[in-house]
Structure 1
Amino acid sequence: MMRAARGERSFKGTCGLFTCLLVLACQPETPAPRLSAGEPETPAPQLSAGEPETPAPELPAGVPPSPQLPSTPQVPPTPQQEVPTGRSWYVSRTGSDGAAGTRQAPLRTIGRAVALARPGEVIRVLPGVYAETLLLESKGSGVAAVTLRGEGSPRPMLVPGNKTRSAVLRVQGRWNLENLQIDVGGARMFAVLFDSTASHCFLSGSELKGGTSGAGVLVEGARNITVQNNSIHHFIKPGTDAHGVAVVGPSRGLVIRNNDIHHNSGDSIQCQGNVAPVENVLIEGNTLHDEGENAVDLKGCRHVVMRDNTVYGFPNAAVRPVGSSAGEAVVIHQSASHILIQGNTISRAGRGVSLLHASPLSEDVRVADNHFQDIRNMPEGNGQAVRIESARRVWVEGNTIENTASYGLMLAADGSAVEGLVVRNNILRGGTRPFLLRLGPSSSRPGALLEDNHYAEGGVLKADGVLEQLTLSSPEKLEVWRKALGGDEGATLLE
């Protein structure tokens, strides 16, 4: 959807509900009981944002305090995958389901091994193509995980055995999935679905591709799920969204780490509240690129840390026609809160980080220590590294911004208010177009604080209703900016 914003066109970020996706996910299957009250849960401790907390000094009378730093999100601790301690069940395309399941006498189907395996045991799948659609049922509450592991080279490939089901692998209870290749083959199915009874599961070292449903991996109300070291690509739903990883509330305790997610028709990662918010998510060390819409879409999600990812190539017109989103690397909206976006490298996107105006507002967001470069005007009307339409308590600090098609920072300039905005210690270098910073009118940024920012000489600054396109041709011009704004103390010109 496109909307006007003070003479500049603005594309609304992806915000459709998962209606169709959830309809597919809820096709009739064998019902499973809810987790019992005794199922262990990993607590979500405070995660350090990299700065020690010190008591605030007392200020002289009459000096207003600085805005409070948004509270650090709660995310899961680093999960530790347990080592199987039980027996091994072997599966081979040359085996027999009547065999003993040993290396010398392997089973023929994964499904038979799944039925036989007990907590703490491992299913070792030898190379070959397995046309099976599996329900990985819970083996009991509070028990050790069962491991489903691909062995040998090339690793075994799973393809749908029953295309009327919602997923190639539907996970309940506690399972570890390792070193698998899942080729959905164009079916309207997820590769892996962790349903609401799944808990303390791992999906690692695998390749997932080729579906036409709403996602490659769907986490639907599950808890303590780790998705790491996977390649997830080419989930394309004609004309609409298909995400690499989709997380739907009330999921909690998610770790998405060190994956390569690309060439899907929606987002690399979509996090969306449903009947309840998604809570406690860590997105770390991934390479997210070349999607039809965005890299990370956060809506109705709380306590999310996205750090140290490499993000580029949005939107990808070869996957989906341009226009369904602004091609954001990160879009935050629909009451997402307690968000930390830190240490990411973001390039070749329509926007870097975007906070949209949507009720209820997002709040407590920190965008810190990221490197933005080559942010482009695609779709038209974009090109900002950080664009904040409306939110509460947002810090933008320590970022390096260079070569943006429009203003590197565009803050409270879309006709809505941004309350409690802090813009501090950013480096804005400009590029072929020298636009560095645009602020909306003072009425749209109550309580805003700017200080210690560093601007390229020759760059352009603008404050609506106060100062129109000031070119920083000298230190004296920077002083004009400070006086007109009544702030930005400590600002400097870059050589």
Structure 2
Amino acid sequence: MDGRGAECTRRDPCSNWNAALRAARPGDVVNVLPGHHGSQKLRKADAKPVGSAPVLFRGAGTGSTRVGQLDVEVPETTFASLQVTSEVRVRRTASGTTLSMLQVNGIVDLEADRSALLDSRVAPPADRDAVQVRSGAADVAIRGNVIGPGPRTGANHVDCVQVSWASRLQITGNTLYRCATQSLHLKPDRGDVVDVLVQGNAIQGCVPRSDACNGYNAFDVRTAGHDIRDIRVIGNTVHGGVTFDDVPGLVLQRNLMNDHPGCLVGSTDNVFGRGGCDRPEANAVRSVRFVAPDADPPDLRAVPECACAGYGAR
């Protein structure tokens, strides 16, 4: 696809992504040639059947393949090796959508079941949450991404990843850093947040407090107007403040945090940078320092003096 033809073939490439989707069979690859392709909306009228092999839209050739806004209504599509300069929105109808190896200079909204954001870089503009998971999305994966930093102006709320209504969500192996309010924010503002795995992530809050950073929390799990339960936080490294409400089914294990999350029933076998409970607990308190916390992105490996091997992200 480069804008010259009408047949959406190698000999006669087209510019219309919906035409390419109509021409593709389940499992086909649509090669998107370098250049700026404007904003693209994949309409549900051109959708393949739910459950069919995904159609792959892939940046091809040498040079950058750029899109303004990518608005996805259709199910069973994968988008790979593209640069997005505004926004990616995976709507509720777009089940089975995968975003892979994208460079997003903007935001990502995941509203669909079986949607995934993989191995991508998301750098949000000021005053926007980088990634939102909402609208009751289920079976969602956010894995292997670098997300942040996220500055703010005034009193705006800015998160790297905000989860407000989702179930069976996996947030694994990401670097989430320096977003002005929280870098990871789980709070059921819009609907239930149930069955979430947070594992192997490096999570950093923003410091010091400034106009661009309220210096609040790196990571929080909060109650709100809907149900939140069964949150498993395993093997993460957290640099910055943490606030965890003691929600049903909350598990914290083998995390490395320079703060203390409070006296939580499900908190065992972690390393914290300071004490926080009067009663005995099955966690260690040590001096927690990191290799290069000020780098961009940060290197949150613990320094050897911590003796923290086996804890935190690897």
The TM-score range, normalised by the shorter chain, is 0.7 to 0.9
For residues 104-163 of structure 1, the C-alpha deviation after alignment (integer angstroms, 9 at most, x for no partner) is 322134343234333222211011111133124222233222211111232300124xxx
In 2, Cα distance between equivalents of 1:431 and 1:284: 22
Are 1:92 and 2:5 matched, yes or no? Answer: no
Select the residue among 20, 31, 37 that pairs with 1:124: 31
Q: Once the 2 structures are TM-superposed, how far is the Cα of residue 431 of structure 1 from its aligned partner?
A: 7.6
| 1:223 equivalent in alignment to 2:113 | yes
Matches within 5 A, 1:124-203: 124-137=31-44, 138-160=47-69, 168-184=70-86, 191-203=87-99
State whether residues 291 and 316 of structure 1, in contact with CA within 8 Å, keep that contact through their aligned partners in structure 2. no
Relative distance call for 1:141 and 1:228 in structure 2 (3 A) is closer
State how 1:196-275 maps to structure 2 within 5 Å: 196-210=92-106, 216-220=107-111, 222-237=112-127, 242-265=128-151, 266-273=158-165
Aligned to 2:292: none
Deviation at 1:175, TM superposition (A): 0.9
Q: CA RMSD in A?
A: 2.6
Letter in structure 2 aligned against 1:217: V
Q: Percent identity?
A: 22
CA distance in 2, matches of 1:117, 1:316: 51
CA distance in 2, matches of 1:109, 1:141: 22
- 1:319 Cα deviation after fit: 7.5
Number of the residue aligned with 2:183: 295
Tell me, which stretches of 5 or more residues in structure 1 are unaligned? 1-90, 161-167, 185-190, 211-215, 374-383, 403-407, 414-421, 433-455, 457-495
Of 200, 203, 209, 1:311 maps to 203
What SS does the corresponding residue of 1:224 show, helix, strand or coil?
Answer: coil
Alignment of 1:311-330 (within 5 A): 311-314=203-206, 320-322=212-214, 326-330=216-220
Paired with 2:207 and 2:195, the residues of 1 have a C-alpha distance of 26
Q: Residue 428 in 1 paired to residue 285 in 2? A: yes
Distance change (3 Å), C-alpha of 1:173 and 1:315: farther
TM-score after normalising by structure 1: 0.52
Partners of 1:209 and 1:342 lie apart in 2 by: 29
Answering whether residue 285 of structure 2 is matched by residue 394 of structure 1, we say no
> 8 Å contact 1:397–1:423 — kept in the other structure?
no
**One-letter code aligned to 2:170:** L
- Is structure 2 residue 241 aligned with structure 1 residue 355? no
Partner residue of 2:301?
none
Distance across 1 between alignment mates of 2:209 and 2:58: 36
Residue in structure 2 matched with residue 46 of structure 1 by the alignment: none
Q: In 2, are the aligned partners of 1:290 and 1:316 still within 8 Å (CA)? A: no
Structure-1 separation of matches of 2:217 and 2:262 = 12
2:250 counterpart SS class: strand
**Offset, 1:315:** 5.1
Deviation sequence 1:412-447 (CA, Å, 0-9, x none): x9xxxxxxxx96431112589xxxxxxxxxxxxxxx
Is the Cα–Cα contact under 8 Å of residues 292 and 316 in structure 1 kept in the other structure?
no
Residue in 1 that maps onto 2:299: none
Q: In structure 2, give the amino acid aligned to 1:118.
A: R
Conservation of the 8 A alpha-carbon contact between 2:17 and 2:42 = no
Which protein is bigger by CA-based radius of gyration?
A: 1
Partner of 2:172: 284
Asked if the contact 1:333–1:355 (Cα under 8 Å) also holds between the matched residues in 2, the reply is no
Give the Å deviation of 1:267: 1.4
Contact 2:104 2:121 in 1 (8 A): yes
| Unaligned stretches of 5+ residues in structure 2 | 152-157, 290-305, 307-314
